[in-house]
Structures are given as C-alpha cells and as structure tokens.
C-alpha cells in the first residue's frame, strides 16, 4: 500500500491528462482522417490527403505564422530581458510591486486588450489622428492592418510570459558570484556575458517556449490588428472549423501546426543544449 | 629602497544611509599590512571587518580615507583592476563551470596565453590537492573541496594579496581545523599576503602573524596573537579573546584588595582593572606562601573537560573567577563544589588594562 501511495496521489493528475488531453487528441486525430460534410456526416476513410491538401492550400499562412511568432518572440526577448534584469537586480524592496504591475493587464480580457490596441492604432484614432491633425505624420500613414501591428500585438500580449521565467532565473543568481567574476578581473560586461547570461539561460529557454508557441498559434491579434492580408494559421483553423464546418481539414491543420511546433522546439532544445541549460538551472 | 607594504589603509571610513540615517560601518581604520604577512581582522558580527575587507577588494568605496596596494592609491579603482583576489564566505563558485574553468577564469580574463593557463591551473590544483577533479561541477563536491576550489581560483592569479572572508565558516569543526593547517601551509608555499576575516578568535590566534581586533567600526588592538592574548588592550579584547577574569579596585602600595585577598599590582596606583587568564591561576586548599597574588574563595562549579578542568570560584563580594587546571597527574579533582579554596598566581600574570 505504502508503495502505491505516490501513484494514487498522482492519479487525479493522470486522469485529468487522460480525459482532457489524450481523449480529445485521439478524437481529433480520428476526425483529421475522415471525409464527408457537416450535413451528411463524416466517415472514417483514412484519408491522408486531408493533410496534404491542407498543407498545400495554407502553407503561406503557416510560414507567416512561424515568421510572426518568431519575430514577436525575438522582440519579447529583447524587451523582456532588460526588464527582468532590472527588476531582479535593481528592484530592491519594490520587486513584488513591479511584478504585480507586470501582471496587472491580465485583469482585463485578452481580446478586449487587443481590441483597445485596435482603437489606439486606428488610422484616425486618438494617437495617429491627433498627430496627423498636427501635420506631424503624412495623411496616408497607417499601422493597423500591417505585419508590424500583428507582431506588436503578439509581443504586447505575451511579454509577461517572457519576463517572468527570466526574472525567476536572474533572481536566483547569487550577487556574490557576480562580484567574484569582477574580483577575477572581469569588467561589468564580461561578468554579464560569462556569468549572469549563462546562468539566466534556463529562464530564457522557458520564456521562449512559453511565448513562441501561443504567439504562433494565436488567431486574435491577426484578426483584430492584421486586416485581411496578415491572416495566420490560427485564423484559418478557426474559420475552417467554426464557419466552414470542415472538421477534418481543421483537425489536420491543427495537427500539422502542432507537429511543426514540436519539431521546432526539439531542434531549439538541441541547439541550445538543454542538458547544459537544465544543469545550470538545477542549482 | 624601503619595502612597500602590501596594503595600507589610511583613516578609512565607510558610511551608509539606512532609513534616512547615516550609519558608520567603519569609523576610521588605519593599518599597514606587510608583504607576506598572515593578517587577521577579528571581531564580532557588525564590527566592520567585512566592510573593511570589501574596501580593500574594491567592492565598497570608502566614504573617506585612502586605500593603497603596494604604495599605489587604489581608492577609486574598481575590483577588476585591483591586484587582490578574494575567497568568499559562501565560496561564490561559478555553478555553470567545472573546476578547471572556475580556476582558469581569472587567467582567461587577463588574456594569459593558453599554455601558461594550462600549466598554472595544473600547478595550483596540485597545491590544493584537487588534481583529477578538473571536470567536476561545484555542486558535485563537498564543502571542503569547494573551499579549496575557491582558494585555487584566487591563488592561481598570484595576487599581491589574498582576501579571505570567513572562508571556513561553513565547515564542521574537524574539517575547519584541518583547513586551518592547510591554509597556513599554502600561505607558506605561495608566500602571498593573506588578509583573513573571522569572528573565531581561536582561528585568528592559530594562524595569524598579526591580528586587528575590531569593535564598532574601530580597531581595538593591533598586535601579534601572543601579545593580544597576554596583554589585551581593553576589557573587550580580554573578553573576546579566550576566557578572562576581570578584577577591579583601587591599588594601594602595589597591592589591590579583592574579596579578602591581596593581588600584587607592581607599578600601579589608584583605580585599576586587571585581567588574569584562567590557566595562570593555581587552586590550593592551604594558603600558599611567597610573593604571589592570593585570594580566598568558594568553588561553585566544577566542569571536567578532558585535558583540563574548569572551576568557577566565587570570591567574597560576589566576583566570579574561572580557573583552568590541567589534568596532568591526578584522576581526582583538586577541589569539589562548595570547598573553600585559595587562588594564587604570579604577579606578572595580572595584566592591567590600558597600560
């Protein structure tokens, strides 16, 4: 009995995973190989062509999603790292307040926040409209419905998920280790490059994972900020499923996206050397 | 050419602002540390010893005063440009590097040729007895091994002085004693000036050539271990270093009356406070003869400690005196609790504070 206790304690977790992850995935895998339509019903035909058709029709959007997701992740890293660094090392006793401020936007719905950005960035909205009124911007200047708007929206929405893991990693860096590097003739820059940066890599690794995946799959930002020419794969899946009711195609697309992301993560982990990263993190 | 001191501090003051108030952690320290010396900064926590060391290392900038290394004013020089290295209290090893990379860090930062790095890291690892463990990560090692990595990482740079901040604090007693001997051996071998910060008086006494005893941001006494033990400059030093008995009163004609006894105090008149070390005092049942200090008392506590026995003796008037007697001859105690005894000691073993 004693030996079984840990497994029994883990049982609710396993059941959760089974019911809410494994079963739906299996169902979706099955749907992705079926043919038919919403009125007459779908039947299993093991039609692999669902995948090849979806891929050839929507490869542009898939590649665009990866590009936007990647660009947004890079932007989040460039903005988020200094913020995390500043809170961890210069935050003093106000650290928790800064972290709270970082999470404050989450008290408002994600979609609402994105729509407000739509208002803010509108061609004749309070920002650009005013600037155009003053003659500081040309009349045909616009941000909305560009790739920039979508990437900026993605960056804004997931930035905290980049900052928090990096903050946690930096927070755990012993300041005396940094002093030791300086004592051993390292300049501030060298101490950062040789000691602080490597020790924070586990946080960067986690941050990239936590932001790249949802940003690539997100339909909301492209829909609200991107206009018609910046459609991402998330939008395609959404309309295929909810509007066109082509469940097999939508499922096949979802699996394709998942496979691409998993391969991407795997390559990324190999390149960055998770072994090393996790080992440093284990301390 | 006169030999330059390895380290000189001139009127060094460190002030902090804490909750809107100026706090002086170091209130004016002046001292010279000679080349090749094993120098200790000893004192209780909060006495300013670590701050003093951090000013030598360059992590803190003095509010006033001058820090010199080999005669060069380095007061405003950042730590990475100072020719001193530090062994941190918690070792502060780089957790993401193995032993070899930890030790080679300083040499690499100084762009030492690859060949020389190889040779010197190998040599120093041999000195600290870590050859064969180059590929280990710090967290795979014991406290004593990490300690030696930290030492090697600093020593490999051949600094003009090595600063050690309570380096043995985290080790257990046996290992600490072994490392004390080890540190002395290494210091003799490399011939580098060691500045050692500790709150452990026995550690300071065993290892140091000279000790600065600090209290409240000031140096109370700066002298060799024997001098500090035998001739403490103040009741604080007497109490902090080992066990000490304090006897005070008014000296008259070379004699101080204490608790119905006569304590000899040559060359002193008037108000005086004496310290007498417990091991200098002899206990006897009969009143001893001769030119010695003699005081009667009652034994209140007997504690057997193996090599010696500690007696607490209460004098008339309430003063408690601690006496250590070597257990050299007899298995029995010299006196038991409640016995009336005579304490006696040579005149030279009463040391008047402030003389």
Are B88 and A186 in contact (CB < 8 Å)?
no
Subunit contact B105:A184, Cβ cutoff 8 A: yes
Contacts of B105 in chain A (CB under 8 A): 181, 184, 186, 194
- What CATH number does the domain located at B244-352 have? 2.40.50.140
Using a CB cutoff of 8 Å and minimum separation of 24, what contacts does B205-211 make?
Answer: B205/B229, B205/B241, B205/B242, B206/B180, B207/B38, B207/B40, B207/B180, B207/B183, B208/B38, B208/B39, B208/B40, B209/B37, B209/B38, B209/B39, B210/B37, B210/B38, B210/B39, B210/B40, B211/B39, B211/B40, B211/B41, B211/B42
The pLDDT assigned to B75 comes to: 94
Q: Which of B98, B60, B64, B96 is nearest to B77 (CA)?
A: B60
Query: Hey, are the CB atoms on A280 and B96 less than 8 Å from each other?
Result: yes
The DSSP secondary-structure symbol of B178 reads H
Do residue B78 and residue A280 have CB atoms under 8 angstroms apart?
no
Cβ within 8 Å, pair A183-B94: no
pLDDT at position A283, please?
41
A281, B32, B217, B239 from B44: Cα distances, Å = 36, 21, 11, 12
Contacts of A181 in chain B (CB under 8 A): 94, 105
Instruction: Please name the residue of chain B whose CA is at the shortest distance from the CA of residue A172.
Output: B95
Q: What is the mean pLDDT of chain B?
A: 90
Among candidates A183, A186, A280 on the partner chain, residue whose Cβ is nearest the Cβ of B85: A183
Grade residue B220 by pLDDT with cuts at 50, 70 and 90: very high
Mind telling me how many Å the CA of A170 is from chain B's nearest CA? 14
pLDDT tens series, chain A, 283 aa: 678 898 999 999 999 999 999 999 999 999 999 998 888 888 889 889 999 999 999 999 999 999 999 999 999 999 999 999 999 999 888 999 999 999 999 899 989 999 998 888 888 888 888 888 888 888 888 888 899 999 999 999 999 999 999 999 999 999 999 999 999 999 999 999 999 999 998 899 899 999 999 999 999 999 999 988 899 999 999 999 999 999 999 999 999 999 999 998 888 888 876 555 545 444 4
- Which residues of chain A have a CB within 8 Å of the CB of B59? 179, 182-183
The mean per-residue pLDDT over the stretch B233-249 comes to 89
Query: What is the interface size between A and B, counted as CB pairs within 8 Å?
Result: 69
**CB-CB under 8 Å, A186 with B105:** yes
Q: Residue B88: list chain A partners with CB under 8 A.
A: 176, 179-180
User: In the structure encoding, which two tokens stand for residue B159, read together?
Assistant: 């600094």
Do the Cβ atoms of B80 and A177 come within 8 Å? no
Q: A280 and B86: CB-CB below 8 Å?
A: no
Judge whether A184 is closer than 8 Å to chain B, CB to CB: yes
**Number of neighbours of residue A70 by Cβ within 10 angstroms:** 16
- Chain A CB contacts of B57 under 8 Å are 183
Measure CB to CB from residue B88 to each of A176, A186, A194 and give the nearest one.
A176
The C-alpha atoms of residue A243 and residue A247 are separated, in whole angstroms, by 10
Of residues B57, B80, B86, nearest to A186 (C-beta):
B80
Residue bearing tokens 């080679």: B104
Q: Which pLDDT does position B277 carry in this prediction?
A: 92
Pick the CATH number of B7-236 from 3.30.565.10, 3.40.720.10, 3.40.50.300, 3.30.300.10: 3.40.50.300
CA dihedral B132, B137, B142, B144 (to 10 degrees): 70
Residues 252-281 of A with CB under 8 A from B: 276, 279-280
Average pLDDT for residues B134-157, to the nearest whole number? 92
Give the pLDDT score at B2.
Answer: 54
Contacts of A177 in chain B (CB under 8 A): 92-95
Predicted pLDDT of residue B334: 79
**CB within 8 Å: A182 and B157:** no
Mutation test of the interface with chain A: which of B55, B56, B79, B151, choosing the one with the most A Cβ atoms within 10 A? B79
B153 contacts on A by Cβ (under 8 Å): 180, 184
Tell me the CA distances in angstroms from B3 to B33, B85, B209, B290, B338, one per residue in order.
12, 22, 18, 50, 60
* Contact flag A180-B96 (C-beta cutoff 8 Å): no
Q: What is the least distance, in Å, from the CA of B263 to any CA of chain A?
A: 53
Q: What is the pLDDT of residue A264?
A: 87
Q: Which of B57, B78, B139 sits opposite A283 (nearest CB)?
A: B139
- The answer on pLDDT for B355 being more than 60 is no
What is the per-residue pLDDT for A136?
86
A89: distance to nearest CA of chain B, Å? 16
Nearest-neighbour CA in chain A from B317: distance (Å) = 52
Give residue limits of the domains in chain B: 7-236, 244-352
* Class of CATH domain A64-229: mainly alpha
A274/chain B closest Cα distance in angstroms = 13
- The structural domains of chain A, with segments of one domain joined by +, span 64-229
Quick: pLDDT tens for B45-66.
989 999 999 999 999 999 999 9
More confident residue, A99 or B265: A99
Contact across the interface for B157 and A183, Cβ inside 8 Å: no
Residue ranges with strand state E in A234-277:
none
> What's the sign of the alpha-carbon dihedral A39, A42, A48, A51?
positive
Residue in the structure block whose two tokens are 């972290």: A99
B308: β partners: B326
For position A147, what pLDDT does the model report?
93
A186·B78 Cβ contact <8 A: no
């Amino acid at each position: 009995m004693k030996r079984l206790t840990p497994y029994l304690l883990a049982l609710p977790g396993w059941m959760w995973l089974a019911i809410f992850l494994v079963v739906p995935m299996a169902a979706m895998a099955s749907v992705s190989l079926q043919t038919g339509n919403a009125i007459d019903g779908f039947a299993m035909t093991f039609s692999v062509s669902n995948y090849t058709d979806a891929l050839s029709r929507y490869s542009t959007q898939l590649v665009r999603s990866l590009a936007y997701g990647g660009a947004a992740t890079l932007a989040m890293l460039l903005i988020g790292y200094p913020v995390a660094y500043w809170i961890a090392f210069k935050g003093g006793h106000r650290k928790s307040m800064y972290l709270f401020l970082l999470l404050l936007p989450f008290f408002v719905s994600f979609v609402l926040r994105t729509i407000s950005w739509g208002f803010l960035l509108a061609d004749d909205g309070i920002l650009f409209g005013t600037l155009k009124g003053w003659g500081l911007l040309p009349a045909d200047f616009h941000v909305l419905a560009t790739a920039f708007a979508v990437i900026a929206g993605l960056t804004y929405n997931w930035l905290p998920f980049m900052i928090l893991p990096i903050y946690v990693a930096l927070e755990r860096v012993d300041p005396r280790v940094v002093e030791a590097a300086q004592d051993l003739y390292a300049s501030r820059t060298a101490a950062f490059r040789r000691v602080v940066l490597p020790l924070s890599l586990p946080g960067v690794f986690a941050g990239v994972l936590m932001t790249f995946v949802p940003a690539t799959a997100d339909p909301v930002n492209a829909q609200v900020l991107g206009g018609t020419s910046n459609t991402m794969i998330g939008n395609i899946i959404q309309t295929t499923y909810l509007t066109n009711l082509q469940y097999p195609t939508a499922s096949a697309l979802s699996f394709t996206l998942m496979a691409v992301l998993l391969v991407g993560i795997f390559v990324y982990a190999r390149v960055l050397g998770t072994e090393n990263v996790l080992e440093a993190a284990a301390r | 050419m006169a030999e330059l001191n390895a380290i000189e501090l001139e009127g060094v003051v460190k002030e902090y602002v804490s909750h809107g108030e100026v706090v002086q952690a170091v209130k004016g320290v002046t001292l010279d540390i000679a080349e090749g010396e094993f120098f200790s900064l000893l004192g209780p926590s909060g006495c300013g010893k670590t701050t003093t060391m951090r000013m030598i290392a360059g992590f803190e900038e003095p509010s006033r005063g001058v820090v010199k290394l080999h005669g060069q004013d380095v007061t405003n020089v950042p730590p990475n440009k100072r020719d001193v290295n530090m062994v941190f209290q918690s070792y502060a090893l780089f957790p993401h590097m193995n032993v070899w990379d930890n030790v080679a860090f300083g040499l690499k930062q100084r762009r030492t040729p690859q060949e020389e790095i190889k040779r010197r890291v190998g040599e120093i690892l041999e000195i600290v007895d870590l050859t064969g463990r180059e590929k280990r990560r710090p967290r795979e090692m014991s406290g004593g091994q990490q300690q030696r990595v930290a030492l090697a990482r600093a020593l490999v740079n051949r600094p003009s002085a090595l600063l050690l901040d309570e380096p043995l604090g985290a080790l257990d007693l046996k290992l600490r004693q072994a490392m004390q001997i080890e540190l002395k051996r290494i210091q003799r071998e490399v011939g580098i000036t060691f500045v050692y910060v500790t709150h452990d008086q026995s550690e300071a006494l065993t290892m140091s050539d000279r000790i600065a005893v600090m209290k409240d941001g000031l140096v109370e006494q700066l002298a060799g271990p024997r001098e500090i033990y035998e001739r403490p400059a103040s009741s604080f030093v007497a109490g902090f270093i080992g066990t000490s008995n304090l006897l005070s009163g008014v000296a008259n004609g070379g004699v101080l009356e204490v608790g119905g006894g006569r304590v000899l105090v040559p060359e002193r008149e008037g108000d005086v406070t004496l310290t007498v070390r417990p091991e200098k005092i002899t206990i006897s049942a009969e009143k001893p003869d001769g030119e010695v200090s003699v005081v009667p008392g009652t034994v209140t506590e007997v504690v057997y400690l193996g090599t010696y026995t500690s007696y607490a003796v209460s004098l008339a008037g309430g003063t408690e005196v601690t006496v250590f007697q070597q257990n050299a001859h007899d298995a029995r105690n010299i006196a038991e609790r409640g016995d009336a005894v005579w304490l006696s000691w040579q005149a030279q073993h009463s040391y008047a504070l402030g003389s």
